[in-house]
Amino acid sequence: MTIRLPFRLLAAASVAALALTGCDGSGASPDASAPPTATSASTATPAAASPTASPPDASPSPAPSGTGPSSPAPPSATADPGGVPPLGSRGLQPLWPFTTPAQAEEWQRAYRSGGHQPWHLDAEHTALAFTRDYLGFTEIDRITSRRISGRDARIGVAPTGPEGGTAAVIHLVRYGAGPDAPWEVVGTDDTTFSLTTPAYGSVARSPLTAGGRITGVDESIAVQVRQPSSETPLGTSPCCTPGGGTDQPWSVTVPYSGARDAVLTVVASTGGHVATVERFTVTAVRTR
């Protein structure tokens, strides 16, 4: 069975070019047909050999923990030897590109039978696709750091140009069992810009209060609520919430409607100095 995303990604790289190594808002659905075109720190496309990593803005933090109810776990229902909790448990929620274990398994069958969409096996490609095609941050097309350990990955991404630092460190894990389990985004590692409200994995209702802490100068914070099955945001905050200083709190209320996926993505972004989006942070909330 063919899996397709509403936002067409460009043709997938060959399977041989992918590194099968093996994680903590305009959108594509969970079944993309091809990866995006992007430029990494050392190569023309993220599907090519992994770039030489430069250090992220700060050391990644552990995966977030939530207070919401657990969803059914995928086939790999126990933590792997590296300590990664099962995806769908309180500590890890599936954000993108797959919303259920069944979707990930469907892709695996298609890949095994015909090499379908091999970009799902590349953590860097998946991180950039999430950023550019799901969140709509099209200026972000560089890989700045890469740390993969077993079934867990942290990938730093940044906007075009050498003057921009790391915008976010995307946290991914393998979704399912086997060496060909696809990569799934579960959140971001936050440093100078965080999104701590609502709590990761908690049940959310509209209007949603979003907030966290920020360090910067003349920041302009925008927040969106998204779901993989919708091409447009479910809700967007009034533009824009000012912020700045050193580790200062920020907060905004976002009304939204049309939620039908089990897990929603809340994304906060800031920019305007050298790029439209210079930093962003995401968290996962549940609808039930």
CATH of the domain at 143: 2.60.40.2550
Indicate the number of domains in the chain.
Answer: 1
Least confident interval from 32-41, 58-67, 151-160, 246-255: 58-67
When pLDDT is cut at 50, 70 and 90, the band that residue 81 belongs to is very low
Residue 277 lies in a domain: yes
In which band, very low, low, confident or very high, does the pLDDT at 240 lie, cut at 50, 70 and 90? Answer: confident
Comparing C-alpha atoms, which of 22, 6, 18 is closest to residue 175? 22
Averaged pLDDT, 258-272: 96
State how far the Cα of 52 lies from the Cα of 58, in Å rounded to an integer: 17
| Residue 76 is assigned to a structural domain of this protein | no
Percent over 90 (pLDDT), the chain: 61
> Is residue 10 over pLDDT 80?
no
Does the structure show a pLDDT above 90 at 3?
A: no
Tell me what pLDDT residue 98 has: 96
Q: In 3D, which of 121, 138, 250, 242 has the Cα closest to residue 180? A: 121
Mean pLDDT for 82-96 is: 73
The answer to the question of residue 170 being in a domain is yes
- Binned at pLDDT 50, 70 and 90, residue 138 comes out as very high
Cis bond leading into 60, ω under 30°? no
Tracing tokens 């552990």 back to the chain, one arrives at 62
- CB neighbour class for 6 (10 Å; exposed up to 12, middle 13-18, buried from 19): middle
Is residue 65 within 8 Å of 157, Cβ to Cβ? no
Confidence of residue 232 (pLDDT cuts 50, 70, 90): very high
Lookup: tokens for 188 = 């971001």
Residue 272: its pLDDT value, please?
85
Q: What is the mean pLDDT of residues 178-185?
A: 96
Amino acid 239: pLDDT: 84
* Residue 9 within a domain: no
* Res 161: pLDDT: 78
Q: Which residue has the higher pLDDT, 36 or 121?
A: 121
Domain residues for 65?
15-71+87-286
Q: Is the pLDDT of residue 262 over 80?
A: yes
* 142, amino acid identity: R
**pLDDT grade, residue 85 (50/70/90)?**
low
pLDDT over 70 percentage in the chain: 68
In whole numbers, what is the pLDDT of the chain averaged over residues?
77
- Specify whether the CB–CB gap between 46 and 124 falls below 8 A: yes
Distance CA 198, CA 25 (A): 15
Q: Is the pLDDT of residue 194 over 70?
A: yes
- Assess if residue 77 is contained within a domain: no
Q: How confident is the model at residue 86 (pLDDT cuts 50, 70, 90)?
A: low
Say how far apart CA 106 and CA 50 lie, in whole Å. Answer: 27
- Name, in order, each residue with C-beta under 8 angstroms of 75's C-beta and a sequence gap of 6 or more: 101, 105, 176, 177
Q: Report the DSSP beta bridge partners of residue 152.
A: 149, 173
- Residue 8 counted as domain residue: no
CB of 99 within 8 A of CB of 228?
A: yes
pLDDT confidence bin for 60, thresholds 50/70/90? very low
Question: What confidence score (pLDDT) does residue 111 get?
Answer: 97
- Most confident listed range (15-19, 23-27, 231-235, 270-274): 231-235
Helices (H), the chain: 101-114, 123-129
Assess if residue 1 is contained within a domain.
no
Whether 6 is covered by a domain: the verdict is no
